[in-house]
Amino acid sequence: MPHASNIKELKKAFSCGSNLVESYCRLIAIELQLYDIEPLKSHHIINKLHNLYNQCAGRPQAAALNTRIAELKHAFREIHVEARHGTCKLPFGSYPTIRYVRLQGDWLSSCTEERKLSKLNEIAKQTIATLRTLDNKI
């Protein structure tokens, strides 16, 4: 499988103790695992997951995948990041922007609490587990 070595390297950070780093690496691994699903060469893992959902509709795991998509969307809306002009919520189509997260303690407003990063990390873990049930090994 293409990118298997990349995913193997990213998995080393899955238990580093930082919710920011762990969730970021998990989201990268999800993107790489879904590299051949439209939209190609895109960071829009929400759309990739939705397209995978359409491919597996009718299978028992489809409902779980749909749940993960909804959870990721909600979690992304809880993360505040720096933008070109001020701040914004983590864009659905550009999860790498999370590296510019506005962590509580550094900012007075429009910031992200650690518990929200923890929740995103947990949802990313659950998404990987759901993908495994669909034979998408991460």
Domain residue ranges of the chain, discontinuous segments joined by +: 4-133
**Complete DSSP assignment for 87-130:** EEEPPTT-GGGGGGB-BBTTBSSS-B-HHHHHHHHHHHHHHHHH
Collapsing DSSP states into helix, strand and coil, what is residue 132?
A: helix
CA–CA gap between residue 84 and residue 42 (Å, rounded): 20
Collapsing DSSP states into helix, strand and coil, what is residue 134?
A: coil
CA–CA gap between residue 24 and residue 28 (Å, rounded): 6
Asked whether the predicted pLDDT for residue 22 surpasses 70, the reply is: yes
- DSSP letter at 56? T
Q: For tokens 């509709």, what's the residue?
A: 57
Average pLDDT, rounded, for the chain: 94
pTM: 0.94
**Per DSSP, what are the bridge partners of residue 125?**
none
Residues near 123 by beta carbon (within 8 Å), at least 6 away in sequence: 68, 71, 72, 75
Mean pLDDT across the stretch 111-115? 97
Asked whether the predicted pLDDT for residue 136 surpasses 80, the reply is: no
Asked whether the predicted pLDDT for residue 53 surpasses 80, the reply is: yes
- pLDDT for the residue 1: 64
- pLDDT for the residue 2: 80
CA–CA gap between residue 72 and residue 55 (Å, rounded): 19
Rg for the chain, CA atoms, rounded = 15
- pLDDT for the residue 138: 60
